[in-house]
Amino acid sequence: MPNTKVLEQKKQVVADLADRLKNAAAGVLVDYKGINVEQDTKLRKSFREAGVKYEVVKNTLLKLAVKEAGLDELEAVLDGTTAIATAAEDAVAPAKVFKDFVKENSTLEISFKSGFADGKILSLDEINALADLPSREALLTMLASALLGTVRGLAVALNAVAEKKGEGEEAPAAPAVEEAPSTEAPAEEAPAAEEAAEAPAEEAPASEEAPAETADAE
């Protein structure tokens, strides 16, 4: 029969596991049989780099932890060898890291047992779908890139508006000076008669010829 110290240690392990499950964004339970030490070391490193906590846990302790965390449905898969991977922030990472590792090591006899996200149990299909999503880091990179593109576009647009406004606000031309009214009287138009030569004088009527002198009377 285990002594009091051992029991207290186990209780603490269960409490820590339960707290971890409650505060995790997501987690997966995996069957890791058939994996060698070198492969296990690489898998742990991949999880660690992704911010995922991964460890092999005794089923007896995990059964108590899932009950305490309100994830009782996970108890049904807790047989054989079990490892648990959880992430506090990235809901995609636990499933994605594991699935990518299996793809790279196709000879491994390891697979998903079950999983959860936001306190809800996921089916194997849902876990695999989750694993195919971009990681949180990748999504943040995509978002940052999209926002940067938007900012750049806005900057270009604002710069174009500023340049256009600058062109339209050139120094205003000096106001036109009003010409003083001319004091000279407008020249009168020459009468029509002066535009051309004076109308020709009327011809004098032909002088009447003097009647021929009659012959001296005889």
Is 36 contained in some domain? Answer: yes
Write the DSSP symbol of residue 176. Answer: P
Is 163 contained in some domain? Answer: no
Is 143 contained in some domain? Answer: no
pLDDT confidence of 3, banded at 50, 70, 90? Answer: confident
Average pLDDT value over all residues in the chain: 76
The tens digit of pLDDT for each residue in 54-100 reads 999 999 999 999 999 999 999 999 999 999 999 999 999 999 999 99
Domain count, the chain: 1
Give the residue carrying structure tokens 């062109």: 167
CATH number of 51's domain: 3.30.70.1730
The tens digit of pLDDT for each residue in 133-176 reads 876 665 556 556 556 656 566 566 666 666 666 665 554 554 55
Domain that holds residue 53: 9-134
Q: Which segments of the chain are extended strands (E)?
A: 26-31, 53-56, 83-87, 111-117, 120-122
Is 113 contained in some domain? Answer: yes
Print the SS3 string covering 50-75: CCCEEEECCHHHHHHHHHHCCCHHHH
Rg (CA), the chain: 54
Is 108 contained in some domain? Answer: yes
pLDDT at 50 over 90: yes
Burial group, residue 44, by CB count within 10 angstroms (0-12, 13-18, 19+):
middle
Lowest mean pLDDT among 113-127, 136-150, 178-192, 202-216: 202-216
Is 39 contained in some domain? Answer: yes
| Residue 30: HSE in the Cβ half-sphere, 13 Å Cα cutoff | 30
Report, as an integer, the average pLDDT of 38-47: 93
Write the DSSP symbol of residue 28. Answer: E
| Residue 190: HSE in the Cβ half-sphere, 13 Å Cα cutoff | 7
Q: How far apart (Å, rounded) are the C-alpha atoms in residues 93 and 101?
A: 12
pTM of the model: 0.61
Is 152 contained in some domain? Answer: no
Q: What percent of the chain has pLDDT over 90?
A: 47
Task: Give me the amino acid identity at 134.
Answer: P
Is 21 contained in some domain? Answer: yes
Lowest mean pLDDT among 47-51, 65-69, 162-166, 199-203: 199-203
Q: For residue 170, how many other CB atoms are within 10 A of its CB? A: 7
Task: Give me the amino acid identity at 86.
Answer: T
